A and B are shown apart, each in its own frame.
Chain A
């Protein structure tokens, strides 16, 4: 048996530390990630809307709603498609305004998506290159924000599953409405 040298164990140690890091990442439920925006006012932004090149979607629109839900989506995003039914349900709630931000999408695809699946949104802003959504801290879609009188209350990363709708989203909305 050859002599074992400690130095060669360096990769194992590095790997262990890295694995612990990954484990921490996993442990921290991304879906509850506190957004830097929570309890802050709606960020200033302005974008063109999907249904016209002239009207705009901006912070004032969102602030004018008592309770607003902003959903960032795209037609190419598979989870967004899964989530859409839930948004359609949410759009039936009285007193809640849904706003969409169409993210890095082709206009025609986005329109087809809405045509086929229905339009839950009061207004849809278009963020063609993803730049305007940066103020929202969007890093993956779908993402959903709940806003009460101009203040961001909650951020949800990833599609809203049915159980999350029941256990998280609806209770929050119930308190606000």
Chain B
């Protein structure tokens, strides 16, 4: 038996097992209700078959087995080992298999958790299996990774050095785990509604899953952004590209969701809101996948697209959405417990934060889909630029920061506004003073900038204080530490983004050797110009030193390369990443000139942007361990 057939048999087994398990959603209500299926065995079969076929695919890539079309298209015998492995999921078919593997892995882990309610467990697993079934069918019908090649070749096509990048290899799978993680959240909602089990205990079970997905999604988005910044070298890190938005939307919904789950867990209210958010979050992950995979949004991320794939995802999306929302419509009247929320309380704060997150979600949603709608109905092409997002999100962000400052310090149930304001007033005044001083001594800021920066700084200080106050025993596994880290991270993120956009400077000099170039507080000395020889080019290399009182801190060597065949001139940027800012130097030599054209860019706080995302992820990790402890 060939390896490809083995792969097909494994996937068919998975298809069959998941179908049988998924039918459990219906057959307790039919005359077959007495049949007892062993959901434990089925779940394990599903997981093991998926894992085995994924490993098999990696094996095919490892041995560069060019009998398979997928390997021919995406690999090459001389590829470094790591990229051979990554090649397995760096394409539509392989990534779909990975997607199914993650679905079944979450299903499997859920099976092994110590939740005693078997009825609930069976329904969650069955709904999850329905999704596994759908995607496996999709895989087998339209995107089989184990297809044999028609023309026998000895060598693969996939040796593109640009795509051999470690970040490019790990960014998609991490993002998938985030996307797919929300599938189990949806299954929780469906299982909980069928068994009438939407209560505090349910919320406690759900909580860790929501956080795990959030961690991966945050990390995945962060890595994508990091890759765009360093590898593509467009000098930006977020472009409001439709595909970026497609990952931001489930992030916003997921963030709203996990704050809401906290309220449900503590106060046993907002059941239907949590259900709606659970459905919404995974739906947005699916919609994102649909838009990208169907080729409706052509972009950086488009794999060779195919309309039949789009249709399949759409039908699947429709089934999942209609089942879950109809179930919601039927169950909703029984879900909510009568409750009153005080306007000054922690739950009110979280709820306000929810609305703000959803408003930003709406803004992004509109910005992403509006051009498509205009295209469809008016046959016009328009594009929505960053200005739209910045202007519409600014007021929301302002309120969000405000709520994030007062929310965590207020008490559950009922609190006094004066108490809350008093407890943050000192830190607020301190922050305001710092920002004001900065504005006076360094560079003048606009009112909106002062407001936003002050709020960010206050948020960070308040979160630090909170983290220390509520975590007296300095445990690294604690919900309060997690929350503080994530909130500090968010404050720092916004602060650095604003600082980065406000203070990024660029200056062009006409320089000669020995000139001193001054930009902001940086002094560069133009040391010398050299002629060097490269592999297939001649280069003119200039040397600049960054000076601090005559001592050289850093050396820059931008180059101009002259290739002879074909005759080409290129400028090589020299970049130094410093703690406070990234510095770029580019040069040009105009014809018949006795000076060099030098451009210096300063991009402040870049490293803080990445650090803030790491903080958020660490915050998530810290609270996840606490949550897992809580279930056990």
Contacts and interface: CB of A to CB of B under 8 A. Distances in A.
27 contacts: A8-B328, A11-B328, A12-B329, A16-B322, A21-B376, A22-B317, A23-B314, A26-B296, A29-B307, A50-B568, A53-B571, A53-B588, A54-B569, A76-B162, A76-B232, A79-B302, A106-B232, A107-B571, A111-B563, A119-B566, A134-B383, A140-B297, A140-B299, A143-B298, A158-B295, A158-B298, A158-B302
A19 B298 contact: no
B321 A77 contact: no
Given A4-B333, A28-B376, A157 B298 contact: yes
Interface stretch (A33-41, A91-99, A168-176): A33-41
A31 B298 CA distance: 10
B323 to A, nearest CB: 10
A177 interface: no
Contacts of A75: 162
Contact of B332 (A5, A28, A50, A157): A5
B373 interface: yes
Given A33-B375, A36-B380, A50-B568, A11 B310 contact: no
B327 to A, nearest CB: 10
Given A11-B276, A30-B296, A104 B566 contact: no
A82 B234 contact: no
Given A22-B290, A22-B314, A112 B376 contact: no
Contacts of A30: 295-296, 298
A78 B311 CA distance: 23
B538 to A, nearest CB: 15
Contact of A112 (B161, B318, B328): B161
A19 B163 contact: no
A109 B233 CA distance: 10
A12 B325 contact: yes
Given A140-B299, A159-B304, A15 B322 contact: yes
Nearest to B279: A11
B572 A108 contact: yes
A2 B336 CA distance: 13
Contact of B304 (A23, A54, A79, A107): A79
A45 interface: no
Contact of B325 (A11, A51, A53, A112): A11
Given A29-B307, A33-B375, A15 B321 contact: yes
Interface in B415-447: none
Interface residues of A, number: 60
Contact of A12 (B287, B322, B379, B569): B322
Nearest to B565: A115
B371 interface: yes
Contacts of B310: 26
B567 interface: yes
Interface residues of B, number: 60
Nearest to A140: B298
A137 B374 CA distance: 14
A108 B233 CA distance: 11
Given A19-B318, A28-B376, A104-B234, A9 B329 contact: yes
Interface in A40-64: 50-54
A137 B382 CA distance: 8
Contact of B162 (A28, A34, A109): A109
Contacts of A24: 376
Contact of A77 (B287, B300, B311, B372): B300
Interface in B554-570: 563, 566-570
Contacts of A19: 314, 317-318, 321
A31 B306 CA distance: 11
Contacts of A8: 328-330, 332-333
B30 interface: no
A11 B329 contact: yes
A52 B591 CA distance: 12
A35 B568 CA distance: 34
Nearest to B332: A8
B298 A129 contact: no
A25 interface: yes
A51 B571 CA distance: 11
B568 A21 contact: no
Contacts of B321: 15, 19
Given A107-B571, A158-B298, 15 more contacts: A3-B333, A9-B329, A12-B329, A15-B322, A25-B376, A51-B567, A53-B588, A54-B569, A75-B162, A76-B162, A78-B302, A109-B162, A134-B383, A140-B298, A141-B299
A35 B381 contact: yes
A104 to B, nearest CB: 5
Contacts of B332: 5, 8
Interface string B372-416: 110110011101000000000000000000000000000000000
A143 B299 CA distance: 10
A53 B591 CA distance: 10
Contacts of B334: 2
Contacts of B304: 78-79, 82, 159, 161
B234 A129 contact: yes
A138 to B, nearest CB: 9
Contacts of A149: none
A113 B330 contact: no
A28 B322 CA distance: 23
Interface string B31-70: 0000000000000000000000000000000000000000
A83 B330 CA distance: 50
Nearest to B234: A104
Given A11-B276, A22-B314, A141 B298 contact: yes
Contacts of B161: 112, 116
A77 B307 CA distance: 19
Contacts of B294: 26
B326 interface: yes
A51 B325 CA distance: 56
Contact of B566 (A51, A108, A129): A51
A109 B164 CA distance: 12
Contacts of B330: 4, 8
A3 B333 CA distance: 8
A134 B376 CA distance: 19
B303 interface: yes
A31 B307 CA distance: 10
Nearest to B310: A26
Contacts of A137: 381
B160 interface: yes
B624 to A, nearest CB: 30
A15 B297 CA distance: 20
Which of B234, B235, B298, B376 has the most CB atoms of chain A within a 10 A radius of its CB? B298
A2 B567 contact: no
Contacts of B163: 76, 78
A112 B163 CA distance: 12
Interface in B530-580: 563, 566-572
B373 A21 contact: yes
Given A4-B333, A52-B568, A76-B162, A139 B326 contact: no
